[in-house]
Amino acid sequence: MKALVTGISGFVGSHMAEFLLAKGVEVAGTIRQRSRMEHIAHIEQDIKLVECELRDPISVEQMMDRERPDLIFHLAAQSFVPTSWNSPIDTIHNNVAGQIHLFEAIRRFGLSTKVQIACSSEEYGQVEPNEVPIREDNPLRPLSPYAVSKVAQDYLAYQYYKSYGIHVVRTRTFNHTGPRRGENFVTSNFAKQIAEIEKGLRPPVIHVGNLQAKRDFTDVRDVVRGYWLALEAGTPGECYNIATGSCCTIEEMLNLLLSLSDVKVDIQEDPLRMRPSDVEILLGCSAKFHADTGWKPEIPFRQTMTDLLNYWRGKV
Ligand SMILES: C[C@H]1O[C@H](OP(=O)(O)OP(=O)(O)OC[C@H]2O[C@@H](n3cnc4c(=O)[nH]c(N)nc43)[C@H](O)[C@@H]2O)[C@@H](O)[C@@H](O)C1=O
């Protein structure tokens, strides 16, 4: 069994590769020339790295002709919401074109590859108070170009399943974090600031954005197990929420991180960290995914945040 992980050098990609290796699966992964390799340096000997620009149909076609994987975990994406406001077309192009090129290559070579598509809770966007916990049949009201790009990925996957019978499973993952999370994302950003304050590398002031947003955080290691189960037991064409079913405000998440440290800090709001429109609450119901695959989260949030803080303590 051979799996291809797009974006293997990224946060989720690196955890996905570790999970697959532990299962004894042959792992290949796409990287770009400018990809940073630090997250996969420890497994580089065990995986096959393939240089591939997903925006380029020729590059994707050549790669797929050579690799012909049984499974694809399509994780490569521009995934930071604020970046999508700065360069909307870049996010749309990157996230949508790459996926179309993969699907077209599967069609061209007549492959029976099973494909997991990393969709997002951001697709739900504006959620009304009576709509939580959010189920898969909730209306999609995306609030950022990133969210729109994920809606497009989601529906393109559905369409390629319906039109051509490609085995796709769409996972709508709610926020996820853990070691190696990029420092722009809120959990990592705050953990890194705390680790730097602990080492005296910065004054004891934590810079924050909107602390009132509510998010449902799953550990990345639970998420990649979910992606595997999605292809093992998920129904082709379906979409599934991956979430814990409980949420906290960003302020509560910050307080949890601070409770894991001895530092005393001031909190300072940074206007640059505010968004043109922020999704107020993302709290997911993953009953459908549990019913079809047996998945449920195993790692408690406190453990995830402890591991994340320790990750940054080891880096700064
Ligand atoms: C499911 C979804 O999950 C992620 O998207 P995100 O929710 O935008 O993630 P984030 O960590 O950037 O923000 C979470 C919340 O935290 C608030 N917030 C407060 N203060 C800061 C702050 O200082 N930095 C950041 N980044 N956010 C802050 C911010 O306004 C927002 O309400 C991606 O994986 C995405 O790819 C994805 O699909």
Q: What is the pLDDT of residues 42-53, one digit of tens each?
A: 999 999 999 999
pLDDT for residue 302: 98
Are 196 and 56 in a shared domain? Answer: no
Question: Distance between CA atoms of 152 and 174, rounded to whole angstroms?
Answer: 17
Residues 65 and 99 in one domain: yes
143 pLDDT more than 90: yes
Confidence at residue 33, expressed as pLDDT on a 0 to 100 scale: 87
User: By residue range, what is the domain housing residue 305?
Assistant: 186-214+247-282+300-315
pLDDT at residue number 245: 98
- Does 193 lie in the same domain as 54? no
In the predicted structure, residue 202 carries a pLDDT above the cut 90: yes
Over residues 263-290, the mean pLDDT reads 96
Residues 6+ apart with CB under 8 A from 275: 81, 82, 85, 144, 209, 210
Taking the whole predicted model, whether its pTM rises above 0.90 is answered as yes
Residue 195 is part of a domain; what is its CATH number?
3.90.25.10
**CATH assignment of the domain containing 134:** 3.40.50.720
Count of domains in the chain?
2
Q: Tell me the pLDDT of the chain averaged across its residues.
A: 97
Mean pLDDT of 224-245: 98
Ligand 1 neighbourhood includes 119 CB (under 6 angstroms): no
210 Cβ inside 6 Å of ligand 1: yes
Q: Whose CA is nearest to atom 14 of ligand 1?
A: 186
Q: What is the pLDDT of residue 51?
A: 97
Please indicate, yes or no, whether residues 31 and 82 belong to a single structural domain of this protein. Answer: yes
pLDDT band at 255 (very low <50, low <70, confident <90, very high): very high
Residue 171 is predicted with a pLDDT of: 99
pLDDT at residue number 44: 96
Gap from CA of 272 to ligand 1 centroid (Å):
13
ipTM above 0.85, yes or no: yes
Q: What is the pLDDT of residues 15-27, one digit of tens each?
A: 999 999 999 999 9
The answer for residues whose C-beta is within 8 angstroms of residue 23's C-beta and 6 or more apart is 228
Average pLDDT estimate for 185-211:
98
CA of 225 to the centre of ligand 1 (A): 22
What is the mean predicted confidence (pLDDT) over 223-237? 98
Indicate whether 136 and 224 sit together in one domain: yes
Tokens of 161: 């399943």
Q: 197 and 80, same structural domain?
A: no
Render pLDDT for 75-95 as a digit per residue (tens, 0 to 9).
999 999 999 999 999 999 999
Answer yes or no: do 64 and 107 share one domain: yes
Is 45 in the same domain as 165?
yes
- Same domain, residue pair 193 and 54: no
Distances (CA, A) of 91 to 85, 87, 158, 184: 9, 7, 20, 16
Closest of 122, 127, 171 to residue 146, by C-alpha: 122
- Give the pLDDT score at 107: 98
Question: Which residue in 214, 78, 101, 209 sits closest to 147, CA to CA?
Answer: 78
- Distance CA(251)–CA(229), nearest Å, equals 32
Say how far apart CA 164 and CA 167 lie, in whole Å.
9
- Based on the domain organization, do 94 and 198 belong to the same domain? no
Per-residue pLDDT tens over the stretch 166-178: 999 999 999 999 9
Ligand 1 and 149: CB distance under 6 A: no
CA of residue 97 to ligand 1 center, whole Å: 24
Say what the pLDDT of residue 146 is: 98
83 shares a domain with 30:
yes
Q: Identify whether residues 146 and 120 lie together within a single domain.
A: yes
| Predicted local distance difference test score (pLDDT) of residue 17 | 98
Among 190, 250, 277, which is best to mutate for testing ligand 1, by the most ligand atoms less than 8 A from CB?
250
Protein residue whose Cα sits closest to atom 13 of ligand 1? 186
Can you name the residues that pair with 26 across neighbouring β-strands? 2
Report percent pLDDT > 70 for the chain.
100
